[in-house]
Chains A and B, each alone.
Chain A
Amino acid sequence: MGTSLIDKLFGVMASPVNTLDEIARERPVGWALLVALGVSFLTLLANFYGGDGLRTIEELRHEFDIFIDASVFVVGGLVLVVVSLFVFTGLLHLLAKLFRGQGGYWNLFSAYCFAEFPMIISVPITLLGAYLGTAGAILSGLISFGLMVWVIVLQVIAVRESHKISTGASIAAYIIHFVILVAIPVAIAIVLVMALLFSF
Chain B
Amino acid sequence: MQKRRFFIIALIVVSVAAVVALPFIDGVDPRREERVDEDRIVVIRLSGPIQEGGGGGLFAVGGITPSQVYRQLERAEDDPDIEGVVLRVESPGGSIAASQSIASMVRDFGKPIVVSMADMAASGGYYISAPAQGIVAHPGTITGSIGVISSFMDMEELYEKLGIKVETIKSGEHKDMFNRELTDEERELMQDLSDEAYEQFINDVAEGRDMDPGEVRELATGEVFIGSHAKELGLVDKLGGIDEAIEFLAEKNELDNPVRYEFPPPTVFEQLFDYGYSVLITLERAFIDPEIVLLEKIKEGVPPDFRYQLR
Contact for A49 among B29, B260, B272, CB less than 8 A: B29
What 3 pairs across the A-B complex have the smallest Cβ distances? A71-B271, A123-B15, A49-B22
**How many residues of chain A are within 8 Å of chain B by beta carbon?**
34
Q: A71-B271, A74-B268 given as contacts; is B4 within 8 A of A131 (CB)? A: no
Question: Is the pair B23, A49 in contact by a Cβ cutoff of 8 Å?
Answer: yes
Contact for A61 among B1, B7, B262, CB less than 8 A: B262
Question: Is the pair B15, A42 in contact by a Cβ cutoff of 8 Å?
Answer: yes
Question: Is the pair B30, A42 in contact by a Cβ cutoff of 8 Å?
Answer: no
Chain B residues 1-38 with CB under 8 Å of chain A are 1, 4-5, 7-9, 11-12, 14-16, 18-19, 21-23, 25, 27-30
Question: Is the pair A58, B30 in contact by a Cβ cutoff of 8 Å?
Answer: yes
Q: A49-B29, A54-B30, A55-B30 given as contacts; is B18 within 8 A of A127 (CB)? A: yes
Q: Could you give 30 example pairs across A and B, Cβ below 8 Å? A: A6-B8, A7-B4, A10-B4, A42-B16, A42-B19, A46-B15, A46-B19, A48-B268, A49-B268, A57-B265, A58-B30, A61-B262, A62-B260, A67-B265, A69-B265, A69-B271, A70-B265, A75-B275, A120-B11, A121-B11, A123-B14, A123-B15, A123-B18, A127-B18, A127-B21, A127-B25, A127-B28, A130-B25, A130-B27, A131-B28
The docked-state distance in angstroms from the alpha carbon of A61 to that of B264 is 9
B266, CB-defined interface residue at 8 Å: yes
The docked-state distance in angstroms from the alpha carbon of A86 to that of B25 is 36
B267, CB-defined interface residue at 8 Å: yes
Q: Quick one: CB contact mask for A46-81 with B, threshold 8 Å, 1 for yes? A: 101110001101100110000101111111000000
Chain A hits for B268, CB < 8 A: 45, 48-49, 70-71, 73-74
A9, CB-defined interface residue at 8 Å: yes
| Closest residue of A by beta carbon distance from B267 | A70
Chain B hits for A74, CB < 8 A: 268, 272
B77, CB-defined interface residue at 8 Å: no
Question: Is the pair A9, B29 in contact by a Cβ cutoff of 8 Å?
Answer: no
With both chains docked as a complex, state the minimum distance between the C-beta of B275 and any C-beta of chain A, in angstroms.
4
Chain A hits for B22, CB < 8 A: 45-46, 49-50, 127, 130
| Closest residue of A by beta carbon distance from B262 | A61
Chain B hits for A73, CB < 8 A: 268
B274, CB-defined interface residue at 8 Å: yes
Chain A hits for B29, CB < 8 A: 49, 54
| Closest residue of A by beta carbon distance from B275 | A71
Chain B hits for A58, CB < 8 A: 30, 262, 264-265
